Structure 1
Amino acid sequence: MMDKSKIFIILSYIFVIYISLLALIFIFQRSLMYFPVKEKISKSFYKNTQLKIIDISTSDGLILKSLYKKSETNINKTILVFHGNAGHIGHRVNKFKPFIDKGYGLLLLEYRGYGENKGKPSKLGLYKDGEAAINYLINQKIKSKNIIVYGESLGTAIATKLSTNYSFNMTILEAPFTSVADVAQKRYWIFPAKYLVLDDFDNLGIIKKIKSPLLLLHGYKDYVINIAFGKKSI
C-alpha cells in the first residue's frame, strides 16, 4: 500500500500541473479563440464578382481593408457579413456570390488582425469594427432598413450587438451561441473556464433586444458550436 507521503507528492504534482494548464489557458485564451489568416486579399479571391477592396476607418484609428459591392437599384438591399473566428473574408466570397449575382449589395467586413489589417482582435475591438462598417454604409447613403446583417459563428456576436442598436431589414445568425463562457466551459469542462473568459460575448443576454426580424440557422453536425447553443438562443 502506498504511504501517505507518496500520495501527497502525487497529488501535489497533479495540482501543480492542473494550475499550470489553467494559467496557460487564461494567458493564451485569445490565441485559442481567434484564428486569423494574415495575408493580402488577392484578386483571385473575388474575381468575377464586382467586389472591390475598400478602406473602413474605425473610431480608434485603424483602417480595415474589406470587400464591397454596391447593390443594384432594383434590389436596393445590402448584406453586411461578419464572418467567424478563422480565416479571412476571401474565404467567404463564394458563399455569398449567388447574392451578388442576384443584384444584392455586399460588404464583407474584415476584422482587425485578420487579412492584411493591423491590430489584434478583442471583444471591444470587434464591436468597434462592426460599428465602423455600419457607418461606412450609412455614408454610402444606405439606410439601416435596407441592410441585411449576416453573422457567422463568432460574427453572430457582432451582428447581435449591432442589431440591438439599429433596425435592420433582417438579422441572420448562422451557428449562434449563448456566450463564449458557455462554449469555453463545454470545451474545457475540467477547468472553471467560464470564469476566466476575457471576451465573453454574451449573446443570450441581449438577443431579445434585437430590433430586426430574426432568422437563426444551425446544423446538427456543427462540431465547433454545438446546435444546443443555437436552440438556447431562441
Structure 2
Amino acid sequence: MRTWRVLLVVLVTVVAVVAVLWLAQRRLIYFPDRAAPAAPPDVREVALETADGLRLSAWLLPPTGADRGYAVLMTPGNAGNRAGRIVLARSLAAAGLTVLVVDYRGYGGNPGGPTEEGLALDARAGLAYLSAAGFVPGRVVYFGESLGAAVATGLAAEHPPAGLVLRSPFVDLAAAGQVHYPFLPVRLLLRDRFAVAETIARVRVPTVVIYGSADATVPPDQSRAVADRAAGPVTVVVIDGADHNDAELFHGPRITSAVTDLLHRLG
C-alpha cells in the first residue's frame, strides 16, 4: 500500500509540474523589456499595423553613409527591446542602409503578448511598412538575431528577400530548449515551434549564418546545422571565442561586414 501511495504522489507531482510548464512556458521563452524606450534624435519612431489589429512602435534609421538603396529589416531576439539593438542599427545605417528595427508585441511598450504566430504577424507588418516606403522585396535584407532568426527565416519562406542574415540560429525551439532543460520533455510540451532548419530548406536566397564558437545559449552545432540545411548559397561567419550576448557577436564590426559583404555579392 505504501508503495502505491508513493507512486501516486510522484505521479501527481509530475502531472502538476507538466501542467505548470504547459501554462507558463512562454514566460520561459520570451523575456521582454516592456518599457517604451525614448527614441534617440537620430531615430524616427514609426507605427506598424499588424493583420490582427495591433499598432506596434518600431524604429527607423535612415542611411547616414552613402545610400545603397537597400533596407534591413531587423527581427530581434527574445529579450530586451529595440533600444538594445541601436548600436548595430546605427552601424548598418552608417554603411548606407535604411534600417527598420521591429519591436514585437509585448515588447518596448507595444500591446499584446508574444507567441510564434504573433511574431510572424509583426515581421510581416515590418515588411509591409518597408514596401509602402518604396522598398520592393528584392531591395530588403532580413537580419534575424537568435529567436529573431527563426522569425526572419519564416518570413523569408513566405516573402523571399534579397538576402537573409541569421545570427545564432537554432535548429528549432525544442532543440534549443532541450539544451537548457534536459530533464523535461520539451518537444512534447512546446506550443511555439520555430522550426528554423526545416523552414530554411525552402529558402533559396543568399544566406549568411553567423555564430560564436563559445555560444552557450545556442550551441554552435545548431547554427551549423541551419547553414547545412539552407537551399540557397550560404556563407558562414564564425566569431571565435564569442558567447551569445558578447558585444562582438551582438553588434561588433564583423556583423555589419557580414551584411555589407552579402550586398556586394548581390551586386
Task: Tell me if TM exceeds 0.5.
Answer: yes
Equivalence for 2:47:
55
Instruction: Judge conservation of contact 1:176–1:230 (CA < 8 Å) in 2.
Output: yes
In the aligned structure 2, how far is the partner of 1:168 from the partner of 1:142? 10
C-alpha deviation, 1:12, in angstroms: 3.4
Instruction: Judge conservation of contact 1:79–1:105 (CA < 8 Å) in 2.
Output: yes
Equivalence for 1:111:
104
User: Does 1:93 pair with 2:89?
Assistant: no
Counting matched residue pairs gives 226
In the aligned structure 2, how far is the partner of 1:197 from the partner of 1:74? 43
In the aligned structure 1, how far is the partner of 2:221 from the partner of 2:148? 18
C-alpha deviation, 1:187, in angstroms: 2.4
Q: Structure 2 residue aligned with 1:135, among 128, 131, 148? A: 128
Equivalence for 2:162:
169
Consecutive unaligned residues in structure 1, runs of 5 or more? none
Equivalence for 2:36:
40
Residue identity matched to 1:62: L
Instruction: Judge conservation of contact 1:112–1:120 (CA < 8 Å) in 2.
Output: yes
Instruction: Judge conservation of contact 2:74–2:102 (CA < 8 Å) in 1.
Output: yes
SS of equivalent residue, structure 1 residue 164: helix
Instruction: Judge conservation of contact 1:123–1:201 (CA < 8 Å) in 2.
Output: yes
C-alpha deviation, 1:121, in angstroms: 0.8
In the aligned structure 1, how far is the partner of 2:144 from the partner of 2:95? 20
C-alpha deviation, 1:6, in angstroms: 4.2
In the aligned structure 1, how far is the partner of 2:30 from the partner of 2:13? 25
SS of equivalent residue, structure 1 residue 218: strand
Q: Structure 1 residue aligned with 2:218, among 198, 212, 225? A: 225
More helix by share: 2
In the aligned structure 2, how far is the partner of 1:224 from the partner of 1:60? 32
User: Does 1:74 pair with 2:74?
Assistant: no
SS of equivalent residue, structure 2 residue 68: coil
CA RMSD of aligned residues (A): 1.6
Q: Which 4+ residue blocks in structure 1 deviate beyond 6 angstroms?
A: none
Q: Structure 2 residue aligned with 1:193, among 163, 166, 186? A: 186
Residue identity matched to 2:224: K
C-alpha deviation, 1:58, in angstroms: 0.6
C-alpha deviation, 1:33, in angstroms: 0.6
In the aligned structure 1, how far is the partner of 2:51 from the partner of 2:181? 35
Instruction: Judge conservation of contact 2:70–2:141 (CA < 8 Å) in 1.
Output: yes
Instruction: Judge conservation of contact 1:168–1:211 (CA < 8 Å) in 2.
Output: no
SS of equivalent residue, structure 2 residue 224: helix
Q: Which moved more, 1:56-65 or 1:176-185?
A: 176-185
Instruction: Judge conservation of contact 2:62–2:93 (CA < 8 Å) in 1.
Output: no
User: Does 1:24 pair with 2:20?
Assistant: yes
Question: Can you list the C-alpha shifts for 1:179-227, whole angstroms capped at 9, x where unaligned?
Answer: 1122223322222220111111111211011132000011122222121
SS of equivalent residue, structure 1 residue 209: coil
TM-score where L is the length of structure 2: 0.80
Larger Rg: 1
C-alpha deviation, 1:167, in angstroms: 3.0
TM-score where L is the length of structure 1: 0.90
Question: Can you list the C-alpha shifts for 1:144-189, whole angstroms capped at 9, x where unaligned?
Answer: 1111110001101111011112332210000101111222233222
In the aligned structure 2, how far is the partner of 1:18 from the partner of 1:165? 40
C-alpha deviation, 1:228, in angstroms: 2.0
Equivalence for 2:262:
none
Instruction: Judge conservation of contact 2:48–2:55 (CA < 8 Å) in 1.
Output: yes
Instruction: Judge conservation of contact 1:166–1:211 (CA < 8 Å) in 2.
Output: no
In the aligned structure 2, how far is the partner of 1:118 from the partner of 1:96? 23
What percent identity do the matched residue pairs reach? 26
C-alpha deviation, 1:73, in angstroms: 6.5
